[in-house]
Every structure is written in C-alpha cells, then in structure tokens.
Amino acid sequence: MSPQDIENSMVNDTDSPPRTQTTSFDPSQTIDQALPTSEQVLDDSAIAKGMLSQAETFLAEAERLKEEAYSMAPSLKPKRGRPKKATADANT
C-alpha cells in the first residue's frame, strides 16, 4: 500500500464522542445470570470420548500421509518379511 492509500483508509475519530457499550447485558446482572446455563458441564467420560475421537482422526490422517509419501517415493515403503540381520563384527 502506498502512504496515500494508508492515509485515505485511516479515520480520525478523536473529535467524536466516546463509543458506548452495545451489549444486551444489564450491568446489575451477576456472571451466573449473564452466561447461558443450557450448556452441560463435561465430565471425564465425555472428555475421554472426545480425545478418542480425535485420536482416531489423527490415525486416519497419519495413514493417509504415509500412503501419499510412499506413492511419491516407493523406495521408502517397507518391504514384506523380516529385516536382514546385521552381520557387523563387534570387535572391529
């Protein structure tokens, strides 16, 4: 943006009266009265279910990413069967 564009987009409101609060809360309300109470508190079981659901989503995403990586570089895909034993001599 050019300095002229910035200057044109700025609004000088220093001579304006102060803004007023536009919330619908009554200043005499307590927190309990102002907050909606229709929401239920989450217990440990509900939190655990959410975590398990998230974990399943992450696992599916991980599998998708692995398959995408293997399609990009097939040589990285693990081969079937047992890996060969290392034959290096420990004394050398």
Task: Tell me the average pLDDT across 75-91.
Answer: 78
* Structural tokens at position 50: 């959410």
The pLDDT score that the predictor gives to residue 79 is 86
Task: Tell me the average pLDDT across 80-87.
Answer: 80
Q: How far apart are the first and last CA of the chain?
A: 67
Please indicate, yes or no, whether the overall pTM of this predicted structure exceeds 0.85.
no
- Kindly give, in sequence order, each residue whose CB lies less than 8 Å from that of residue 51, ignoring residues fewer than 6 positions away: none
Q: Is the dihedral of CA 41, 46, 52, 56 positive or negative?
A: negative
pLDDT per position as a tens digit, 57-66: 999 999 999 9
pLDDT per position as a tens digit, 28-47: 767 666 666 666 778 899 99
Cβ atoms within 10 Å of 70's Cβ, excluding its own: 13
The pLDDT score that the predictor gives to residue 39 is 66
